[in-house]
Amino acid sequence: MSAVQDINFASHGLSARQMAFYRFRRNPLAVIGALIVLSVIFAALLAPWIAPSPESAGSFVDFRNRHSPPSWDNLMGTDNVGRDVLSRVLFGYRISLGLVVGVLGVAVPLGVVLGLMAGYFGGWTETIIMRFTDIMLALPPLAMALAITAVLSPNLINAMIAITLLWWTWHTRLIYRIVKAQMNEDYIEAARVAGASHIHILFRELLPNCVSAVAVKISLDAGFVILFGAALSFLGLGVQPPTPDLGTMVATGSEYLPEMWWQAVMPGLAILYAILGFNLLGDGLRDMLDVEL
């Protein structure tokens, strides 16, 4: 099998990076995903400058203009107090991406380190870490998040903490499995024979072999974190008004369905757009880096 497919193109002057980039470019969906993600990131960063009505992000009210349908003045219409929905969506992306960075910024390093340790040390370390992970995975995530935020008082930071507490487990399992497979390779023993420390083997030998899988997982995760955050906000346990959050907007807008549909549908589509982008990008990265999740 491999003999035919592993024909060595490296000798033609293509580096591994060039070959991976070639695979990525040849995958139109991945490129579309990357463009969507970039547009979301730009929208979030530049919201104060590109939003048609930046004051709509706050507790601004304009009752003369409330419930106006999409028009050239308000591309996504206005909400129940007359704020521009498009502006609020752009600012809403700031909250969503902030949530993604906050959650994954803590959950991924934590999960990766625990996974590396469980796979490498084995024995009791493995039993304790992996059984605890199993217990965490056995809890229904949304119910857990609801319980945590309800106890801690509902706001963005607490929602972030709740999601983080649930999220690291997936990375632990992923890394654990990769490390277990790598432990059979001679380079681990070779490093031991060379006198390498545990820290060296964990972070210099094993971690580089996990990076591509983690990159793909992060990209696929980002969409789910946005969705999860929006779900919490929708239930009133996440971001509180008047801060513009996509989940909260869907919740408030849903009271005016179906006549004034744009108030719920537009933020809903915005969530869909971002998640679609991250998922397409994640799938593209998976093909490009050739990892199994």
Query: Which of these segments, 187-195, 219-227, 244-252, 279-287, binds other proteins (CB under 8 A)?
Result: 187-195
Question: Which of 27, 39, 209, 254 touches other proteins (CB under 8 A)?
Answer: 209
Among residues 55, 73, 134, 185, which is the contact residue for other proteins, using CB under 8 A? 185
Per CB under 8 A, 183 contacts other proteins = no
Q: How does DSSP assign the chain, residue by residue?
A: -HHHHT---GGGT--HHHHHHHHHHT-HHHHHHHHHHHHHHHHHHHHHHH-S-GGGGTT---GGGTTPPS-SSSTT-B-TTS-BHHHHHHHHHHHHHHHHHHHHHHHHHHHHHHHHHHHHH-HHHHHHHHHHHHHHHHS-HHHHHHHHHHHH-SSHHHHHHHHHHHHHHHHHHHHHHHHHHHTTSHHHHHHHHTT--HHHIIIIIIGGGTHHHHHHHHHHHHHHHHHHHHHHHHTTSSSPTTS--HHHHHHHHGGGTTTTTHHHHHHHHHHHHHHHHHHHHHHHHHHHHT---
* Residue placing its CB nearer to other proteins in the complex, 103 or 291: 291
Instruction: Tell me if 194 contacts other proteins by CB under 8 A.
Output: yes
* Residue from 150, 196, 235, 269 binding other proteins (CB under 8 A): 196
Smallest distance, Å, CB 188 to other proteins?
A: 9
**Minimum separation from the CB atom of position 3 to other proteins (A):** 4
Residues 3-42, mask of contacts with other proteins (x by CB under 8 A): xxx-xxxx-x-xxx-xx--x--------------------
- State which of residues 208, 258, 259, 292 lies at the interface with other proteins (CB under 8 A): 208
Out of 52, 153, 197, 293, name the contact with other proteins by CB under 8 A.
197
Q: How many residues bind to other proteins according to rule CB under 8 A? A: 32
In the complex, the residues that contact other proteins under the rule CB under 8 A are 3-5, 7-10, 12, 14-16, 18-19, 22, 185-187, 189-197, 200, 204-205, 208-209, 211
